[in-house]
Each structure stands twice: as structure tokens, then as C-alpha cells.
């Protein structure tokens, strides 16, 4: 049993990629539709609630909310098949609702797969009770364990993010420092709890008619997807990205137009240290420069939507593009070419998917 579990855990990258493959359509669909709703409402900075724009916004919010439970559930699904879905969905949902974000959701998915793996092998029942084991015992026990874990981890994560938000607000006189911090945080977890702290900091200053912290945020929201799309393009002959990542680059490029940072999550999950580290450098450069140049906007939505309320369109775009270029270059500098074994496995997986 332990040897089987060790083999299961050695394939964590495969499980994560499976989760991402199910997550991406949810993010793309929800993100694009939500951004369309914001644009149709006149880009006032508030989420529309009435008319066609309000209906579209609800669809978009559903997609951007559900992608967290989806990635958690399908990480577990990759590990133990359908029995992992229930605890995975519940763990991911709780992580989303309680401020744990996609990082806690991924951990919940891995835990769900682990718990179900051991329950399936440790609980022995007569043949007549196999159905009871599968539809009652395993779901109840696994959902209970994973649900408690997701809540227990999300509570301190959320508390830490709230404390961090207070620290950031105390830096209001240090424009470059605060701008760089906001930019780096936006690129750390791409729409997760850390990024939400940066966003809420900008909103808090916006309520006081101080616009540059929101400007630093708006120019760096699109940096992760834009930087990764550019990174894949620049390294197209260097064998640094899997075929699935190359395919995800186009979605990332589209999502940068409407500041959906989650478009870079597939790359971050495949190589978290190098990708997240490189993107944070790009975000810090873009955000720090925005603070230094006093780039401000009264529209709390990034990328090209935020231009509507920008005090200087040229410097706004300069910070956004420079941060993305720096992020792409640093990520590619940190990443190493994939091994022949990985490339071969990638080709075999593609062949199987084509003829399945």
C-alpha cells in the first residue's frame, strides 16, 4: 500500500495539470463574461447588478468563484478517480469562501486524494456492503476530514492577509515601496487572498480620493497572463514549456486584456518557484514604477478597462507593458529546458489524447 502511495505522490505534477485542465475553461468563460459585463455597464468600477450587464456579471462571478473548487476536485479526481470529487469540491469551496484561495484549494485536493486512497484500502467490508462503503462511508469520512482541514488552514491565512493589508496601508507615504509591494502581491497568487489584500488596499485609498495605489494595482493585474504569454512566445524554440502550457499561452494572452490574472495559474502550478518568483519581479517593477510616476485611476479594474479612469494613459500602459516584459524575461531566465524524458512523456500523452 505504501509503495502504491509513494507512486501516487510522485505523480503530483500530473495531478496538478489535470486539475488545471478542468479549471482553465471555467476561468476563461467566467473571466471574459464578467469583463464584458463591466464594459457594458460603462466601466464605472462597480459590479453591475441590473439588466443584461447584471445577468452577465452573475455568470462571470460564478465562473471566477467556481474555478477554485473545480481545481481542488479534479486534482483529487486525478489521484483516486470519482471518489475524490466530493471531498475535493467541498474542500475547494470552503477554501474559496473563507479566504484560503486556490493555494489552500490545491492542498485540499491533494489531501482529498490521499484520504480517499487510504480509506479505499483500509476499510474492509463484506461484498454485500461494498455499495455502502462507496456511497456512504468514504464520502462522509473524506468530506469531514478535508472540510475541517480547509477551514482550519483558511482561517489563519485569511487573518494573515488582513494583517498584511493593515501594514500596506501604513506605507501610504512611500509610493515606490507600496507600489512595488502591490504589484508583487498581485503576481503572487493571481487573484488569490494575497492579491485581494493588494486590491482592497487600493480600494481603501480610493475611498479617500487617493488614486495612485489603485493605479499600481490596475497596471499589474494583467502582468501574470501577459508575461506568461510573452514568455512562451520568446522561448518557443528553447523547450522550456510543455505542450499544454504552450496551448494555455493563447488563453493567457486573451485574459490579460481584461485583467484576469488567473490566466497564469497553469504555468504557476507546473513550476511554482520559478514562475511565481519571476512574475513577482515583473509586478514589483510595474507597480513600483507606477508609484514613482504617480499613475492613478479611479476605476478599480485593471488592464485596458482601467484606462478609462487613468490620469495618464501613456505612463499607465508603459508600467503595464514594462512589468510584463520584465516578468517574462525573468521567468525564462529562471526556467531550465525540459528533460528529454518529460518531452517524450508529453508527446506520448498528446498522442493518447488525439486517439482516445
- Rounded to the nearest 10°, the torsion over CA 92, 335, 24, 12 is -40
Residue pointed to by grid coordinates 509513494:
6
Buried b (16+ CB within 10 A) or exposed e, 286-309: bbbbbbbbebbbbbbbbbbbbbbb
| All cell numbers assigned to 47 | 459590479
**How would DSSP label each residue in 99-168?**
T-HHHHHHHHHHHHHHHHHHHHHH----GGGHHHIIIIIHHHHHHHHHHHHHHHHHHHHHHHHHHHHHHH
| All cell numbers assigned to 323 | 512589468
Please report, in tens digits, the pLDDT of each residue of the chain (356 residues total).
Answer: 778 788 888 888 788 878 877 887 887 788 778 778 877 776 555 677 788 888 998 998 888 788 889 989 999 999 998 999 999 999 999 998 888 877 888 899 999 999 999 998 888 877 766 777 778 889 999 999 999 999 999 998 888 877 776 776 676 667 888 899 999 998 988 877 788 778 777 776 765 677 888 889 889 999 999 999 999 999 887 788 888 788 888 888 988 887 888 888 888 888 889 999 999 999 999 999 999 998 988 777 778 877 877 888 899 999 999 999 999 999 999 998 877 776 666 665 554 443 44
Rg (C-alpha) for the chain, rounded Å, is 21
Report CA-CA distances (Å) from 119 to 77, 116, 123, 127, 140: 15, 5, 6, 16, 11
Residue pointed to by grid coordinates 460603462:
42
User: pTM (2 decimals)?
Assistant: 0.69
Amino acid at each position: 500500500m505504501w509503495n502504491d502511495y509513494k507512486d501516487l505522490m510522485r505523480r503530483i505534477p500530473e495531478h496538478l495539470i489535470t486539475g488545471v485542465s478542468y479549471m482553465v475553461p471555467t476561468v476563461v468563460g467566467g473571466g471574459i463574461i464578467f469583463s464584458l459585463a463591466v464594459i457594458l455597464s460603462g466601466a464605472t468600477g462597480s459590479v453591475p447588478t441590473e439588466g443584461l450587464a447584471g445577468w452577465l456579471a452573475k455568470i462571470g462571478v460564478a465562473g471566477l468563484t467556481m474555478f477554485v473548487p473545480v481545481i481542488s476536485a479534479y486534482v483529487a479526481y486525478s489521484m483516486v478517480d470519482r471518489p475524490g470529487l466530493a471531498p475535493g469540491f467541498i474542500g475547494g469551496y470552503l477554501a474559496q469562501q473563507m479566504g484560503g484561495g486556490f493555494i489552500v484549494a490545491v492542498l485540499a485536493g491533494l489531501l482529498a486524494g490521499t484520504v480517499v486512497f487510504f480509506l479505499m484500502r483500509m476499510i474492509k467490508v463484506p461484498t454485500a456492503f461494498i455499495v455502502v462503503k462507496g456511497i456512504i462511508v468514504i464520502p462522509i469520512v473524506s468530506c469531514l476530514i478535508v472540510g475541517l482541514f480547509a477551514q482550519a488552514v483558511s482561517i489563519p491565512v485569511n487573518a494573515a492577509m488582513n494583517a498584511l493589508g493593515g501594514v500596506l496601508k501604513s506605507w501610504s507615504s512611500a509610493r515606490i515601496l507600496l507600489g512595488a509591494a502591490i504589484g508583487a502581491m498581485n503576481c503572487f497568487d493571481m487573484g488569490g487572498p494575497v492579491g485581494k489584500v493588494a486590491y482592497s488596499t487600493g480600494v481603501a485609498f480610493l475611498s479617500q480620493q487617493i488614486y495612485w495605489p489603485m493605479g499600481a494595482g490596475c497596471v499589474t493585474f494583467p502582468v501574470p497572463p501577459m508575461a506568461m504569454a510573452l514568455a512562451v512566445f520568446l522561448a518557443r524554440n528553447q523547450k522550456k514549456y510543455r505542450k499544454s502550457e504552450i496551448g494555455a499561452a493563447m488563453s493567457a494572452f486573451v485574459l490579460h486584456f481584461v485583467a484576469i490574472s488567473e490566466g497564469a495559474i497553469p504555468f504557476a502550478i507546473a513550476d511554482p518557484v520559478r514562475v511565481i518568483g519571476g512574475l513577482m519581479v515583473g509586478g514589483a517593477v510595474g507597480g513600483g514604477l507606477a508609484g514613482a510616476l504617480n499613475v492613478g485611476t479611479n476605476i478599480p479594474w485593471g488592464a485596458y478597462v482601467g484606462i478609462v479612469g487613468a490620469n495618464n494613459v501613456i505612463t499607465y500602459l508603459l508600467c503595464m507593458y514594462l512589468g510584463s516584459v520584465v516578468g517574462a524575461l525573468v521567468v525564462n531566465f529562471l526556467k531550465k529546458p525540459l528533460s528529454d524524458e518529460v518531452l517524450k512523456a508529453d508527446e506520448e500523452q498528446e498522442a493518447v489524447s488525439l486517439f482516445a
